[in-house]
């Protein structure tokens, strides 16, 4: 599982679209998590992106079926294949995800390592942090990685700071965070987090 990390767009939909395209198309991540609090930004980007891919007919199920029916009658196999390719690209956009509304947080488990995804890390309580191997958050002025004992806190910072990241398993069983400049696609650093098991808090 490779997860792209997108910081807050602060209203810049063009920047969000470009960064999402880099992660989904160029890097081929399994999913991309938007760490901002403005979910509507992702909704607008996905809607416009899908419309652009599918053309004037629209990106809805009904529009797809109508176009498929027309092509089945008037076109050769190439037209059908092109339509299916465009539809697959639109479905790929479901890999661009938002965080659940607070106080909920998104959770991913890599083997025995718990990763939390939140916009504002100050909303986490002591138990959340105790059980986490890695906390990924969106609210920050710049890209930052800080280790506190067995736990690590990471933010790519806002998109305007020209950093996005990919979280992926490391060969030694740990996790790696690779950073990129979304404007150029150039790597901007890679950190490997030791495969150290987080302490679990069990309440009876």
> Residue 103: which CATH number?
3.60.21.10
Domain that holds residue 80: 51-94
In this predicted structure, what is the pLDDT of residue 198?
A: 39
Q: What is the pLDDT of residue 202?
A: 42
> In terms of domains, do 79 and 145 share one?
no
Domain identity same for 69 and 154:
no
pLDDT at 47: 86
Of 94, 110, 129, which marks where a domain is finished? 94
- The three-state DSSP-derived secondary structure of the chain is CCEEEECCCCCCHHHHHHHHHHHHHHCCCCEEEECCCCHHHHHHHHHHHHHHHHHHHCCCHHHHHHHHHHHHHHCCHHHHHHHHHHHHHHHHHHHEEECCCCCCCEEEEECCEEEEEECCHHHCCHHHHHHCCEEEECCCCCCEEEEECCEEEEECCCHHHCCEEEEEECCCCCEEEEEECCCCCCEEEEEEECCCCCCCCCCC
Q: Is residue 12 in a domain?
A: yes
Token pair for 88: 């697959």
Let me know whether 123 and 172 are in one domain. Answer: yes
Of 67 and 9, the structure prediction assigns the larger pLDDT to 9
**Are 164 and 110 members of one domain?**
yes
Do 33 and 58 lie in a common domain? no
Residues 17, 114, single domain; the answer is yes
Q: pLDDT tens-digit profile of 139-173?
A: 999 999 999 888 999 999 999 999 999 999 998 88
Q: What is the pLDDT of residue 173?
A: 82
Q: How buried is residue 89: exposed, middle or buried, by Cβ count under 10 Å (0-12/13-18/19+)?
A: middle
23, 84: one domain: no
42-76 confidence digits (pLDDT tens): 999 988 888 887 665 555 565 555 555 665 666 66
Q: Is the pLDDT of residue 196 over 60?
A: no
73 and 170 together in one domain:
no
Instruction: Give me the sheet containing 106-110, strands edge to edge.
Output: 106-110, 113-118, 134-137, 151-155, 144-148
pLDDT at 84: 61
* Residue 46 included in any domain: no
Same domain, yes or no: 75 and 129: no
In a domain, 30, yes or no: yes
pLDDT of residue 51: 82
Question: Based on the structure, what is the number of domains in the chain?
Answer: 2
């Amino acid at each position: 599982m490779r997860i792209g990390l997108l910081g807050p767009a602060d209203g810049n939909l063009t920047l969000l679209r470009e960064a999402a395209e880099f992660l989904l198309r160029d890097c081929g991540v399994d999913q991309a998590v938007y760490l901002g609090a403005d979910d509507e930004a992702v909704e607008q980007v996905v809607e416009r992106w899908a419309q652009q891919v599918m053309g004037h007919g629209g990106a809805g199920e009904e529009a797809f079926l109508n176009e498929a029916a027309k092509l089945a009658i008037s076109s050769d196999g190439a037209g059908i294949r092109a339509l299916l390719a465009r539809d697959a690209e639109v479905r790929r956009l479901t890999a661009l995800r938002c965080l659940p509304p607070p106080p909920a947080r998104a959770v991913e488990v890599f083997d025995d390592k718990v990763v939390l995804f939140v916009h504002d890390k100050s909303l986490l309580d002591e138990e959340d942090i105790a059980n986490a191997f890695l906390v990924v958050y969106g609210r920050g002025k710049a890209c930052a990685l800080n280790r506190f004992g067995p736990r690590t806190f990471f933010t790519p910072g806002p998109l305007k700071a020209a950093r996005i990241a990919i979280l992926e398993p490391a060969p030694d069983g740990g996790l790696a965070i690779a950073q990129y400049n979304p404007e150029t696609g150039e790597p901007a650093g890679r950190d490997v987090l030791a495969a150290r098991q987080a302490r679990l808090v069990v309440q009876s």
